[in-house]
Amino acid sequence: MIRSWLFVPADSERKLAKGGESGADALILDLEDSVAASRRPAARGMVVDYLAAHAGAARRPRLWVRINPLDGEGLTDAAAVVRAAPDGLVVPKVNGPDELLRLSHWLDALEARDGLPAGGIKLFAVATETAAAVLRLSEYARVPVPRLAALTWGAEDLPAALGASTNQDPAGGYALTYRYARSACLLAAVAADVQPIDTLEVDFRDEAALRAACADGRRQGFTGKIAIHPAQVGPINEGFRPTAEEVAFARRIVAAFDASPGIGTVGLDGKMIDMPHLRQAQRVLAAEAAFQD
């Protein structure tokens, strides 16, 4: 389970070094928005060098690479960086699972070219950056993508695709279209049995807003969040780890069912606890175990 995904410009040695010290569960070495087109050839080389310098199955943080859109320089990016065995590729502006399957076929060939384990490089799709992408989110429940590890949604590119002047409502929250995209992405990820990752918070200086967003995201079912600054990593890691109170209560639920094997409902603190509560308690304990330092 990956809680914090920190974007780092792939052409900045200073930011790459700082990102590696941030405590993020995963770094996203970015070849797309944060790198000028003229700098991309050099940035690809820097990604390869960085991955080579941090090789190893047990490396932390995990190292992912955001390539460019598949109708742009995405395949060129992938062909350049796959040989250095990133943990996965972050794919922007994905319109549906068919595009990820096409990329997966390319990766089959690239992994064979470079002598890498078949299927080892995973995919993380930014799945709501066009109108078509939002409308096709339900397809992830029907079209398996074996390499897919996570889906996230974005609130910054979609307004431009829609011709909207803002993604906010008059009260300053997300407008209905973007709340819908968020919910649909969450449902699609869970249906596809991959991690649902919440979008970034633009103001990296507003820690209170970030913590509130993390708390809301975890309540809704998201399991991690995008970070755009190292200062956001700590609050995200804390926000997506179960609290001590939640872990203690989950253990009591599991213990109550263990004490009454074969029973579908037990009483606890004057309330009836049934199988959905048990499954949620087991998820809490599994998450706590995954986040042990």
| Amino acid, res. 271 | K
| Amino acid, res. 49 | D
Please report, to the nearest 10 degrees, the dihedral formed by the alpha carbons of residues 182, 188, 190, 191 taken in order.
160
Comparing CA positions, the residue from 98, 106, 97 lying closest to residue 77 is: 106
Would you say 59 is a known binding-site residue?
no
Count how many Cα atoms sit within 13 Å of the Cα of residue 103 in the half-sphere of its side chain: 35
Comparing CA positions, the residue from 95, 119, 94, 90 lying closest to residue 107 is: 119
Would you say 32 is a known binding-site residue?
no
| 21-52 core/surface letters (b: 16 or more CB in 10 A; e: else) | ebbbbbbbbbbbebbeeebbeebbebbbebbe
Would you say 157 is a known binding-site residue?
yes
Give the helix ranges, DSSP H, for 115-243.
131-135, 157-162, 176-191, 207-220, 233-239
What backbone phi and psi angles, to 5 degrees, belong to 236? -70, -45
Q: What residue numbers does the annotated binding site cover?
A: 66, 129, 157
Q: What residue numbers does the annotated binding site for substrate cover?
A: 66, 129
Q: What residue numbers does the annotated binding site for Mg(2+) cover?
A: 129, 157
